[in-house]
Chains A and B, each alone.
Chain A
């Protein structure tokens, strides 16, 4: 059970990073790549939820991890930050596709990416575990 949960948790994280990569591609490439937004953001959302569900499930499954451990709480906070900025980017690119605005701010991309990078650091080092 542990191995399957870990595989699904890690695979979801890879999909999440790929979605962020696609988001950067839309930002950098612009133009016709904006069409990718229709796929990227639903995938980002689904991967984000899957990371959370399998991560919390792992925390319950593994003896020695508790949901209120500092590193898990930090991961939950970082997950919320990446999700919030992902949602902001989704709305921004939707408006851009409709010709209502320019592309979303660079800072939103940087914050979402930094949150996921910090999540990976948190998952590897597990401070306090």
Chain B
């Protein structure tokens, strides 16, 4: 049997924004990965269109959601008075690590998908760029699963 730990009501809104942002960024990445993976099998204009859809998903939905998730995380940390430096709990460090690395990889994936979509549209290749974007975006999804594990189980 587990006993409840009640958090202050004032934490609810930033927590909601943090979780909603995390869900949206993860969903955006899954959509982008699915579209980009689907483009691997497509050809011609269809391939360019699906790749462009994956790029736009990352740009319009993924990146803003990432900032919502990260900004709300900062808000919660400031409310909870979590110690920083050597005394920082492990789960907070994992959260920051996965979010920062994930953010950089997502930005790279967005740029690669953009370049890939442009080249595919002009008929000058670009498939390899789009495939690289797929791999990077998939890695970010894996990082975010680790973050979900850290946020829910709170190791150390």
Contacts and interface: CB of A to CB of B under 8 A. Distances in A.
Contact of B23 (A2, A13, A31, A33): A13
B99 interface: no
Q: Is the interface of B mostly helix, strand, loop or mixed?
A: helix
Contacts of B50: 29, 32-33
Chain B interface: which size bin?
Answer: 20 to 34
Q: Is the interface of A mostly helix, strand, loop or mixed?
A: helix
B53 A22 contact: no
Interface in A1-54: 1-4, 6-7, 10-11, 13-14, 17-18, 20-22, 24-25, 29, 31-33, 35-36, 39
Contact of B154 (A3, A39, A62): A3
A68 interface: no
Nearest to B145: A11
A12 B28 CA distance: 16
Given A11-B145, A63-B3, A124-B16, 15 more contacts: A13-B23, A14-B26, A14-B27, A21-B31, A22-B31, A25-B34, A25-B35, A32-B46, A33-B53, A36-B34, A63-B1, A63-B4, A64-B3, A121-B16, A124-B12
28 contacts: A3-B153, A4-B153, A6-B152, A7-B153, A10-B148, A11-B145, A11-B148, A13-B23, A14-B23, A17-B23, A17-B24, A18-B26, A18-B30, A21-B30, A25-B34, A25-B57, A29-B50, A31-B46, A32-B42, A33-B38, A33-B50, A33-B53, A61-B2, A62-B1, A62-B2, A120-B16, A120-B23, A124-B16
